[in-house]
Structure formats: structure tokens, C-alpha cells
A and B are shown apart, each in its own frame.
Chain A
């Protein structure tokens, strides 16, 4: 900051520097501005400051996804055989999400309500600080996505990122025996149970189609329901649009 400094106005120079260090808020004092407009040193400071405006972080390319970043195009071949494993992996990921790391402003309720996750996940979150280890063994074997249910191509990229993240490195672990995942997805959404009490309207004849008579002998005519009633159900028949 000694460049081209005007000896007769040291305090103006300092004041201008202080104003800049404070982030150049508002306007500089008029005497400071007049000084800075003529002082080569201050103008150099302004020049250095204005060079920041040339920098645009948006010019950077997307970061290479490496091992972790879940290249979306790759995760196609999820088949029926792997659906169960996929579902468990999703639940596991959800568990990890709930149990992982410190809450930060953008995400979650920083320290607010861990309760819901804890209730749902039980002890799953308690043991593991790092989210990856539990899920990674299953997902490491990304080589055979379709063959066995243990492949779980869906979740594979994510845990990989955690376990091998720091350097985005070569995915060393390959064959940890996949620990049998927890009982297949507790399915907390089993809400339909309360639908039971509905049978009350039995007396009314309108319920006919939903409750087929159980007394029909099984062998005789199992596959031939009364055609007229079928047609009367509005939802299912409409799209078939049989010409009649």
C-alpha cells in the first residue's frame, strides 16, 4: 500500500484503505474520494479491488463426478429381482440421512427434531456416525447390477462416495459379504388397516360388487361373475370401451 502515496494526506490514504477493508460500504467520504481519485496508490487499490469483479465462479465446469456422483445414466437396469434389495437400500439411505451428521441451516432442522427419524429408524442411526459403512458393502458390487439382489444399483454411488471420498479413489473394497439387510422394510405405511369398520353398510344392497358372495362353490363358476354387475362398476370398465 505504499505505492504512489501522497505524503501530504496520510490519513486520507489510511481512511480510504480502511473503507475498502470494510467492504467499501456506501460511499466514501467526499474528501477521501477526492484524494483517492488522484492518489496513484489508492487508485491501484481500487484497481486491485475491481479485478475481483472479473472473477466469475460460474465459469467453472461441473465437478467431475468421479466415483461418487451417481452418474444418473448408469442406474437404469433395476429389475424386478432387485427391487426388494433396492427398496431396502432406499430405506437404509433414508435411515442414514436421518442419522447423519450435523444439521446445517440449509438442511433439516439443525438440532431441532431428530425424533421422527429416531422413532422410525430405531437403533439404526445410533451405531453409525459415518453413513457409509452400513450401506457400502451391499453396494460395492456394482459390477453385476442385474444378477443378484445384492447389487442394488440404485444406491451404489452414494455410499461409495462417503467411504472412498477424500480422493475419489479406486473403490478398493469389492467383496464384503452383504450382511442380510434388516427385515424387509417395515412398511410403516400400512395405513389401510382402519378400513375394516366399513362392513357396517352390509344391509344396503349397494355394496354388492365389492363383497362377492363367499358361498359360491369354487369349482363351478369361479371365473364368470355376473356380467351385468361388472359393467355397473364405473372405474374399471370405462377404459376398456368395449363396443358392446
Chain B
């Protein structure tokens, strides 16, 4: 009836509280849906991109893994204490899911085409293809998404030393694979826009201090 006495003074201070049912103190179903939608909007696309890279362009696997991770997180939003770590949590879940899968179902040319939409060149594809799914997950998290080391460890599911070893191995293998592809098919790569050359610029900058820079 007229129970409506306003917000409870003991209500916890959280974003969810703002949308609580004032009579029962429970989060309103609609509020939960809104939060889940916001969370999904915030993380969905990049997580899907991550999953596409880790699955090496397997759209079905990537969609399933990222959707599963998002919905799993959506169910536990009320437990979210460190939003800045949510991306790593999601990626760890995706990585686990994808590493349990077998070989990609889609043919390579389709997967290659899918990843082209994310800016993956043929050389990069070849480099990524040399990695295991877990190595790819760690490599993508660190070298492409530039997550913090603590997050990379989370994605790797290992301690710092183990994650570092995994990442170093992934870098080495990626470089070997990409380099082989560059050797074999430079003509196709030439069709791509030149990379930004951040690393090249750094190297050149150091070399130029000696007056022996190449460019």
C-alpha cells in the first residue's frame, strides 16, 4: 500500500543502488538489463575483435566465445569490484573457451578475409597463425591491445614469470612467421598501406644520433 517511504538509508552505495526498487531494495529487472546492455556496449566490439584474432578469424567460434563471456559477466555485474580489470577477465574467459576448441572450422581464405577487416595483413596473419590459441591470446592482449602486465597475466592464466615466458615465445614465433610471409609474398603485402612505422621511427631515431641513420 503506502509503504513507500523513500530510499532506505542503509542502502549500499553503488551504481546499482540508484536503480533499486525502493520498496524491496532489490535491483529492478529493468535496471539490471540496462546495466548489462551498457556493459555489453562497452566491451562487446573489442572483445569480439580479440576473439576473432585469437580464433584466427573463425567467426562462429569468436562469436560464441565472446557472447558467452559477455553474458557470463552480465550475470555477475553486481560482483564487479574492479571495472578496469573486466576487460582482462573477459579475455581470459574467451581465451579459455577458444583454446578448448579444435581447428577452425572455416576455410583459411575466409578467415583471412574476416581478419582483414581488423587490419590484419597477410604477414601478420601468417605470424599469428604460428601461435597456439593461448599464445595468440597473450600476444594479442600484450602487443596489439596493449593491456597492462597484470591483465596479460590474467589472460594467460599464469603467474608473472610464466606469462612472460609465454609472451616472449609468442613474440619470437610471431616474428618468425610474419617474416617468412614477408619473404614469400612481398608483392601482396605491398598492396597494403604502409604500417605506421612506430618501431621503425624509434630505431631510426636512435641510429640517427650517431649520424648513421638509414633514412
Contact A50 B200 (CB under 8 A): yes
Given the known inter-chain contacts A23-B142, A69-B71, A187-B24, please indicate yes or no for A47 contacting B83, CB distance below 8 A: no
User: Does B163 interact with chain A (Cβ within 8 Å)?
Assistant: no
User: Which residue of chain A is the closest to B83 with respect to CB atoms?
Assistant: A106
Contact A58 B207 (CB under 8 A): no
CB of B151 to closest CB in A, whole Å: 9
Please tell me which one of the listed residues B63, B79, B172, B204 contacts residue A64 in the complex, with CB atoms under 8 A apart. B63
Contact B46 A60 (CB under 8 A): yes
Contact B118 A154 (CB under 8 A): no
Complex Cα distance, B27 from A154, in Å, reads 12
Complex Cα distance, B72 from A162, in Å, reads 8
**Chain A contacts for B176, CB-based, 8 A:** 1
Q: A140-159 toward B: CB 8 Å interface, digit per residue (1/0)?
A: 00000000000000110110
**Chain A contacts for B154, CB-based, 8 A:** 104-105
User: Does B158 interact with chain A (Cβ within 8 Å)?
Assistant: no
User: Does B132 interact with chain A (Cβ within 8 Å)?
Assistant: no
Contact B127 A48 (CB under 8 A): yes
Contact B212 A53 (CB under 8 A): no
Complex Cα distance, B73 from A69, in Å, reads 11
Contacting A at CB under 8 A, from B160-215, are 167-168, 171-172, 174-176, 178-179, 182-183, 192-193, 195-200, 202-204, 206-207, 209-210, 212-215
Contact B214 A37 (CB under 8 A): yes
**Chain A contacts for B10, CB-based, 8 A:** 191
Given the known inter-chain contacts A20-B175, A90-B27, please indicate yes or no for A107 contacting B67, CB distance below 8 A: no
**Chain A contacts for B40, CB-based, 8 A:** 62, 69
8 new A-B pairs (CB below 8 Å) besides A70-B37, A107-B81, A108-B80? A33-B204, A41-B179, A44-B183, A58-B45, A63-B47, A63-B48, A63-B66, A72-B34
Chain B residues near A (Cβ < 8 Å): 3, 8, 10, 24-27, 29, 32-34, 36-37, 40-41, 44-53, 62-64, 66-68, 70-76, 78-90, 92, 117-121, 123-124, 127, 140, 142-145, 154, 167-168, 171-172, 174-176, 178-179, 182-183, 192-193, 195-200, 202-204, 206-207, 209-210, 212-215
Chain A residues near B (Cβ < 8 Å): 1, 3, 17, 20-24, 27-28, 30, 33-34, 36-38, 41, 43-66, 68-70, 72, 75, 78, 86-87, 90-91, 93-94, 96-97, 100-101, 103-109, 131, 154-155, 157-158, 161-162, 165-168, 185, 187, 189, 191-192
